[in-house]
Amino acid sequence: MPTFTPLGTASAVPAHGRHLSAALLTHHGRHILFDCGEGTQYRLHAVEASAARINVIAITHLHGDHCYGLPGLLSSMALQQRTNPLTCIGPPGLKAWLAATPGASPAELPFACTICEMIPPPACTTVWRGRHAWLEARALDHRVPVMGYRWTTYTRTGPLDVERARALGVSHPPDFGRLKEGTPVTTDDGTRVRPDDVVGPPQPGVSCAYITDTRPGPGSRALAQRAHLAYHDATFGSEHAARATETGHSTAAEAAQIARTSGTHRLLLGHLSARYEDWTPLEAEARRIHPNTEGAREGHAYPIGPAN
């Protein structure tokens, strides 16, 4: 099962043992890194995650608490003789910034580093496709151009009932594979076995949304729509709602309202202001709106799936 691991949940500055913004999504032994605040390399070590297994780095925006760890991480990858290609996604300015940073310029790296720079799209747009899943981005509402992300696995074929297939006369190993792929087979005695006879219904994909540094709005709702897990900006409590509006952030109650109206199954609150020592008051106000909510725990691997 894929997992989502918050690495840093602090807003603006490290505080109360919390670190700057970063999160790791892991599936089939590979990682997508969302944001890369200062110190992200230390956080990767803390959860025993190998930077060599990061295939994609998705940056939401170019405020320092979300991206200042990226040059150091790229430089370390080079020092470790990485050869696997890497994709970095982010808003305008990312390419020029990295190109001007000694040791982090893609032209200097010993591995292929593709910078996918884009204006945050007004509708959900696919920005990366992998073997098992794809990644979408959508514009959010902050003081600078910012993107949220949604990761979704492809729909899989249903499970093959091997015993049922054998009972119908299927005996050759390749035929089991053909049935799983949707192709009918004929047994040695001439019986025609259809996939519908032995393969269960398709298994829908699972999804995870990463939504931070934003006011609640259409972008948040679209990314969180029926997501199995969503990490959402909850910088402030409702007592500081005016400050949230002024700075382009959300309150915990607003994040919970997005999750409830979007049909999100599980909500993680993120990007906590330094004025709060812990998540307790924000969890309380959010749970009154969306009960399946908690403050994101750094280093905890949250499963992404319908059983959450």
pTM of the model: 0.90
Residues forming a β-bridge with 198: none
Which residues, 6+ apart, have CB-to-CB distance to 102 below 8 Å?
108
d(Cα 292, Cα 308) in Å, to the nearest integer?
A: 9
Tell me the average confidence (pLDDT) per consecutive run of 10 residues in the chain, 308 residues long. 97 96 97 98 97 97 97 96 96 96 93 97 96 97 97 90 91 90 90 89 92 97 98 98 97 98 98 96 97 98 85
> Considering 35, 65, 141, 175, which one is annotated as catalytic?
65
For the segment 17-44, what is each residue's pLDDT rounded down to a tens digit?
Answer: 999 999 999 999 999 999 999 999 999 9
Q: What pLDDT, on the 0 to 100 scale, is given for residue 251? A: 98
Q: What pLDDT, on the 0 to 100 scale, is given for residue 307? A: 61
**Mean of pLDDT over the chain:** 95
The verdict on whether 65 is a catalytic residue reads: yes
For every residue of 199-230, DSSP letters joined together read B---B---EEEEE-S--SSHHHHHHHTT-SEE
Q: What pLDDT, on the 0 to 100 scale, is given for residue 158? A: 85
